[in-house]
Amino acid sequence: MTTVWVYAEVRPEGPSPTALELLTKARSIGDEVAAVALGPGATAAAPALGDHGAATVYASDDQVYADTLGQPAAHALHGLIREHAPDLVLFSTSYDARDVAGRLQAKLGCTLMSNASDVTSAEEAQTQIFGGSRVVDVALEGPSPRLVLVRPKSFAAEPGGGTAEVVTVEAPIPDELTAARRVERHEETAAGPRLEDAKVVIAGGRGLQDPSNFKLLDDLAAAIGGNAAVGASRAVVDAGWVPYSYQVGQTGKTVKPEVYIAVGISGATQHVVGMKGAKRIIAINKDADAPIFRLADLGVVGDALAVVPKLIEEIRARRS
């Protein structure tokens, strides 16, 4: 009997998509699946968590989890794990979940694996090495539970039609664990969908020549319609052209859109690992030998600053 838990991140507006992805995976490897949801929105998220595989949702709507860093959540999880002894706990590779998983590992002294791209059982997971060009199996050893941090978008979220029993978490939080508090939460406002959710991702690289040329990608996204978002390579994020939230790749976001348009991006393995799961890849690059073309379903060899305006013009003309 394998018991798999998912640390399900929640917000008042709903569960994180990664919680649903992890639960979908958990139900394929666990005989018993539960979710732990801590913070405002936890109880309200239970139907969605149940629908994706959690038979039990350990939930607390306590504001303390939203107002602090990972200490209270790690404390509550530690108590639940000691009581119920799951075999495996899955976390998303997000800032908050990484904080909680690290603190929990220190309390439990168990195995913590980060950056997993798949979890095949409670004893084995997979990760990518050499910039994503190789996948390796990793044995999860040591005392249970094993803790695994999984990259977002590693699995598709699929409802299974289940319902969850909600068990309210009563975990008094010691004062010393609430000393560090969030004083501000800054949400970057974006006009379109989130990069991770967009059906079309248009990503720009150094080949755009100048930060002001990112406007072309915004215009292309607007011409395509509501489901397109703009991303970037690390080279231009590091250069300060666009914020880190745009970055696609090994040290950025993983995206799996219907269409990925790489504009002036060479196709370094560290970039490719974050976008190679796209259904269709279109590359625009002036160098016919750029590695991105090896991956592309459609390649346009040309100057992005000439090609993209033409593409916008053509899309607008067809739409009207």
In this chain, which of 219, 266, 278, 293 binds ligand FAD, going by CB under 6 A?
266
Min dist CB 202 to ligand FAD, Å, is 13
Residue 224, phi then psi, degrees to nearest 5: -70, -35
* Position 245 contacts ligand FAD (CB under 6 A): no
In this chain, which of 7, 247, 278, 282 binds ligand FAD, going by CB under 6 A?
247
Query: Please, how many CA atoms are within 13 Å of residue 124, restricted to the half-sphere of its CB?
Result: 5
* Position 233 contacts ligand FAD (CB under 6 A): yes
Min dist CB 244 to ligand FAD, Å, is 10
Min dist CB 264 to ligand FAD, Å, is 4
Size of the site for ligand FAD (CB under 6 A): 29
* Position 128 contacts ligand FAD (CB under 6 A): no
In this chain, which of 34, 221, 285, 293 binds ligand FAD, going by CB under 6 A?
285
* Position 59 contacts ligand FAD (CB under 6 A): no
> Between 129 and 156, whose beta carbon lies closer to ligand FAD?
129
Residues 197-226 within binding reach of ligand FAD (CB under 6 A): 205-207, 209
Contact set with ligand FAD (CB under 6 A): 205-207, 209, 233-236, 247-252, 264-266, 268, 270-271, 274, 284-287, 290, 303-305
